[in-house]
Structures are given as C-alpha cells and as structure tokens.
C-alpha cells in the first residue's frame, strides 16, 4: 500500500463554552506512515489531546465538533476513508480494530468492576467474532506479549489489584488485541516513575516492530521523545509550530518555542557530565495562550524573546526549513 497511514489536513476543532467559542485546534496538518512514530509535543493546553480525540472521533457532540478539515486513514483493505465524515457505526467498526488508543491514566479507562482478562477479550469478541473461550485465550496471549508475569492468573485480577505499570501494560494489551494499524498513545507514561516509564517505551517500540503499527505519541516530555520518536511535531496554541525528524529537532530547533522547551530539560548526556558544569535551565516566560482571547499575529509572540512588530501583524505561515522540516516563524533563519 502506498501513501500515508494517517493524513490529517487543516483540522479545526472547536468547543462551545459559556465565555464563547473556543477553537482548540486551528488548521493542523499531520502525516504518519506505517511503522513510523510521530511525537506530538507541547505544554498542557496546546491542543495535543484534542487533536488525538478528533482523530478518534471522541469529541462529545454536546459541547464540541470538528469544524473543518480532513482525517484521511488508509485501512487494511487499502481504502482511504475520511474519518471526519464517517457515521458513528462505521467509525465504531474502525475504532478498536484498526485504530486503537492508550489513555494517560489506565484507572479511568479500565472498568473496576470487571476482571482484566474479560476487558481485553471484549474487543476480540466484538471486532473479530471470537468465541468466549478463544477470546480469553487471545487475552492471555496478549498479557504474555506485554510481559505480564503469570498471565493466566493475572487475567482473573481486577484493575485495583495491579500496579500502575502493570495497568498500563494491560491498556497496551487491550489496544493491540485486534492488531491495529494505528495506535494513538496519549501521554501513556506520565503517571509512571522513570524506571517503569522506560520499560513501557521499550515495550511499545518492540511491539511496533512486531505489529508494524504507526504510532501517534502525545507527550510534553522531550526526554521521552528522544527514546521513541522518528519525527516530532511541536504544537502551541492549537497550531503546529515546527516539525522535523527527531534528531534535527533535538539538535537544531528552528522555532523559539521548541528552543525554549529544549532549554527547560536537564541534560544528562555524557558531554554535560564530563564538563562538570552546572547548566542553568531556561524558563519560558508567561503563560500558555488563552484560546478564547488569542493575541494578534503569532500565538507565541507575547512569550518570545525574538518577537518584533511583524510578529503581531499576522499568523506566520508554516515554512519549509529544509527537505523534511517546517517552522511557523518569520525569524527561523536567525534562530537557526
């Protein structure tokens, strides 16, 4: 199959609030190839999770809607569907079978009243028509695949009887039970300690190679990005402000926001330790842009040390910064 697995074009998502219309996602473009991991990075409130929920068609109709754009997904049959236009039944057929999602906090996603084996088996019965016995066997197989010890016994446990790391592994098993083509992981390691976090990242990378999935990995942690991503898209104020291969982003950012995010991460590499010098972390001044009252021009301008009058005149376009990168900044060449 040719073409991207997921191709989001000019996505706009908005919410109705008592204070007025809130546009959380403003013209986002993203592509993910099969077997590729795209990390979507930004502070809380930048629009990352709303982008992922839009792709899954999980925006609640009573308060929000996809107001524009396309979400093109190429299924196993080779057909390209616009998820934004699918009816709920067709979307439900894809959700869980060909597109799966891991949420940040598994205790809010797992049902506390049901055993974990039954919860994993449910998707296999629903989407693949397996018998109860075959679905249970598949659930145990998935628990073994995500390296949960004694999977037959653990399948009988309830969520509260497992550790946070094990619950997250259960969520991964549940998401992968139908061998999806696309996995959306919304900050799946945030609530875990650093040791378990690394184990989960290594596990996801191994399972991606085994299943050849595309992964949209949402995070605010640039240390996580270095471990798992092939490409990175940086989001601010509902827009993509920079995208590039992960090495280029980490070594030579072109947008001042990306530069600020990297400057706020403690260095633990060999060169930093060898120098013996204490590196002062850089703080991005100000607060995240108010989506109800965005500034004129560039959303990041009020917090930017590089800003000038031209930055307040209009929203900067997303310009090519090389063969594979883009930045939404009129001064990216000076920053580079």
Backbone angles phi, psi at 145, to 5 degrees: -65, -35
> What does the pLDDT read at residue 50?
96
CB 255 within 8 A of CB 304: no
Strand order across the beta sheet in which 20-32 lies: 20-32, 6-17, 64-74, 80-82
Q: How many other CB atoms are there within 10 angstroms of residue 79's CB atom?
A: 9
What ranges do the domains of the chain cover? 6-98+180-335
Residue with tokens 């920053």: 335
> What does the pLDDT read at residue 12?
98
DSSP string, 273-314: HHH-PPPPPPPPPS----TTSPPSS-TTGGG-TT--GGGGTS
CB 188 within 8 A of CB 139: no
CB 22 within 8 A of CB 72: no
Instruction: Give the pairing of strands 64-74 and 80-82.
Output: antiparallel
> What does the pLDDT read at residue 277?
58
Q: How far is CA 221 from the centre of its chain?
A: 11
pLDDT per residue as tens, the chain (336 positions): 678 999 999 999 999 999 999 999 999 999 999 999 999 999 999 999 999 999 999 999 999 999 999 999 999 999 999 999 999 999 999 998 999 999 877 677 889 999 999 999 998 998 888 999 999 999 999 999 998 999 999 999 999 999 888 998 999 999 989 889 999 999 887 767 788 888 888 888 988 988 889 999 999 888 889 889 999 999 999 999 999 999 999 999 999 999 999 988 776 654 555 555 566 777 889 999 999 999 999 999 999 999 999 999 999 999 999 888 999 999 999 987
Instruction: Give the pairing of strands 214-219 and 182-186.
Output: parallel
Rounded Cα gap, residues 98 and 125, in angstroms: 15
Rounded Cα gap, residues 70 and 29, in angstroms: 9
pTM (2 decimals)? Answer: 0.90
3-state helix, strand, coil in the chain (%, to 5): 35, 25, 40
- Grouping H, G, I as helix, E, B as strand and the rest as coil, residue 12 is strand
Q: How many other CB atoms are there within 10 angstroms of residue 98's CB atom?
A: 20
Q: Is the dihedral of CA 14, 15, 18, 19 positive or negative?
A: negative
Q: What is the DSSP letter of 56?
A: T
Instruction: Give the pairing of strands 64-74 and 6-17.
Output: antiparallel
Element of type H or E holding 70: strand 64-74
Please choose, from the candidates 313, 311, 310, 306, the residue with its C-alpha nearest in 3D space to the C-alpha of residue 284: 306
Task: Specify the CATH architecture of the domain 6-98+180-335.
Answer: 3-Layer(aba) Sandwich (3.40)
> What does the pLDDT read at residue 275?
55
Q: How many other CB atoms are there within 10 angstroms of residue 328's CB atom?
A: 24
Rounded Cα gap, residues 323 and 289, in angstroms: 30
């Amino acid at each position: 199959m040719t073409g991207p697995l997921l191709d989001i074009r000019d996505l706009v998502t908005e919410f109705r609030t008592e204070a007025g219309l809130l546009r959380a996602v403003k013209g986002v473009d993203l592509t993910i190839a099969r077997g590729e991991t795209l990390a979507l990075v930004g502070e809380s409130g930048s629009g990352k999770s709303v982008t992922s929920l839009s792709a899954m068609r999980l925006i609640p109709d009573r308060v929000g809607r996809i107001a524009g754009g396309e979400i093109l997904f190429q299924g196993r049959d080779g057909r390209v569907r616009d998820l934004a236009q699918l009816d709920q039944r067709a979307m439900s057929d894809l959700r869980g079978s060909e597109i799966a999602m891991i949420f940040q906090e598994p205790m809010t996603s797992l049902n506390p009243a049901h055993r974990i084996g039954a919860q994993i088996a449910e998707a296999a019965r629903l989407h693949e028509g397996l018998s109860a016995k075959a679905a249970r066997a598949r659930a145990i197989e998935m628990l073994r695949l995500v390296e949960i010890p004694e999977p037959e016994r653990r399948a009988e446990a309830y969520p509260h009887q497992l550790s946070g790391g094990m619950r997250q592994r259960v969520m991964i098993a549940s998401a992968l039970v139908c061998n999806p083509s696309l996995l959306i992981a919304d900050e799946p390691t945030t609530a875990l300690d650093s040791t378990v976090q690394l184990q989960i990242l290594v596990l996801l990378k191994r399972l991606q190679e085994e299943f050849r999935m595309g992964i949209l990995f949402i995070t605010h942690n640039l240390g996580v990005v270095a471990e798992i991503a092939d490409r990175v898209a940086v989001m601010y104020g509902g827009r993509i402000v920079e995208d590039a291969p992960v090495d280029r982003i980490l070594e030579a950012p072109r947008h001042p926001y990306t530069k600020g995010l990297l400057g706020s991460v403690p260095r633990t590499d060999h060169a930093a330790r060898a120098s013996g010098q204490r590196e002062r972390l850089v703080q991005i001044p100000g607060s995240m842009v108010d989506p109800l009252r965005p500034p004129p021009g560039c959303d990041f301008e009020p917090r930017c040390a590089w800003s000038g009058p031209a930055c307040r005149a209009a929203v900067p376009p997303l310009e090519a910064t090389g063969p594979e990168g883009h930045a939404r900044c009129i001064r990216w060449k000076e920053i580079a």
